[in-house]
Structure 1
Amino acid sequence: MTLLDRLNQDMIKAMKEKDIETLGVIRMVKASIQNESIKLGQEYLSEDEELTILSRELKQRKESLQEFNAAGREDLVNKIKSEIDILQEYMPKQLSNEELEEIVEQVIQEVNATSMKDMGKLMGKVMPLTKGKADGSQIKEIVERKLK
């Protein structure tokens, strides 16, 4: 089942249950997917492209959460946390810290990375392997720690 199919099924379920918040998030994700397919001139997006859009939406929410926390807007913090929870249901299972460190170690061996100068090359190889399964800032932190 594609992400779009799953979103359509969950949208119908949310409508029946009158779950306004879930319905709003699903509609927003669907609109983002449809806008991207129009922009790319494709009828359907690949699973990887859909995952990219979902990751982007999740990242935007997390950034908003930090800003609202800093501004002391508890009303918006709770709303954004709820949206993040809904979006994470559609994301693939997240990798553990140990799994991420293992992947980073393998890539370090592959590219013979020895210093921070190799960070760009290393991140370029690690990010596609972990797409949608880990937060970029978490990966960056591990890479920096391993290269020091």
Structure 2
Amino acid sequence: MVSALIAQLKDQQKDAMRAKDKPRLGTLRLILSEVKQQEVDTRTELNDDDVIAILTKMVKQRKDSVTQFEAAGRDDLATKELAEITVIEQFLPQPLSEAEVNDLIDQAIADTGAAGMQDMGKLMGVLKPLLQGRADMGAVSGKVRTKLTA
């Protein structure tokens, strides 16, 4: 059983081929290649959550590359990476607002009874499946740390 997200990616790839949209097609092929590589490495069929984790990682890598390319004055390469980010983000869930993230953090603290920094791992374990691909986990970690030390 192929995940719905993988099926959607394959359909989009076919559409890009028909439209002769080379930049989009290249990005879709990169995504599907990453997914296939992960399936081969883990010897399992990926679900939508696994694919979202891969897409999130790909966006993060490209954002890091853009920063480095811009620092080196390579705007041509930065533009290419930004175009890939745009295509990849189309397959990620809608990002949560700042207020929604804060509400989820507060709810997780209440549910787990987290009282201090020693509960950070437990709290992040609860939050990660809820926020993966929908919020910057680094920023979430900082907010959790602030709330636990306050």
* Backbone CA RMSD of aligned residues: 1.7
Q: Distance in 1 between matches of 2:38 and 2:127?
A: 25
Mean CA deviation greater in 45-54 or 92-101? 45-54
> How many residues are aligned here?
147
Residue 53 of structure 1 aligns with which residue? 54
The superposition leaves residues 37-56 of structure 1 with CA deviations (integer Å, 9 ceiling, x where unpaired) of 112223x3212222221122
**Which letter maps to 2:73?**
G
Residue 101 of structure 2 aligns with which residue? 100
Residue 39 of structure 1 aligns with which residue? 41
Tell me how far 1:2 sits from its aligned partner: 1.1
Residue 5 of structure 1 aligns with which residue? 7
- Percent of pairs with identical residues: 35
Tell me how far 1:108 sits from its aligned partner: 1.4
Structure 1: segments with no counterpart, 5+ residues:
none
**TM, length-normalised to structure 1:** 0.89
Tell me how far 1:146 sits from its aligned partner: 2.0
Q: Distance in 2 between matches of 1:46 and 1:37?
A: 10
Runs (4+) off by over 4 Å: none
Q: Distance in 1 between matches of 2:18 and 2:86?
A: 20
The superposition leaves residues 110-142 of structure 1 with CA deviations (integer Å, 9 ceiling, x where unpaired) of 233333343233222211221221111221232
1:82 aligns with 2:83: yes
**Which letter maps to 1:29?**
I
Tell me how far 1:98 sits from its aligned partner: 0.5
Q: Distance in 2 between matches of 1:70 and 1:114?
A: 41
Structure 2: segments with no counterpart, 5+ residues:
none
The verdict on how the C-alpha distance between 1:69 and 1:115 changes in structure 2, with shifts beyond 3 A counting, is farther
Please give the secondary structure, in 1, of the residue aligned with 2:94: coil
Q: Distance in 2 between matches of 1:81 and 1:8?
A: 22
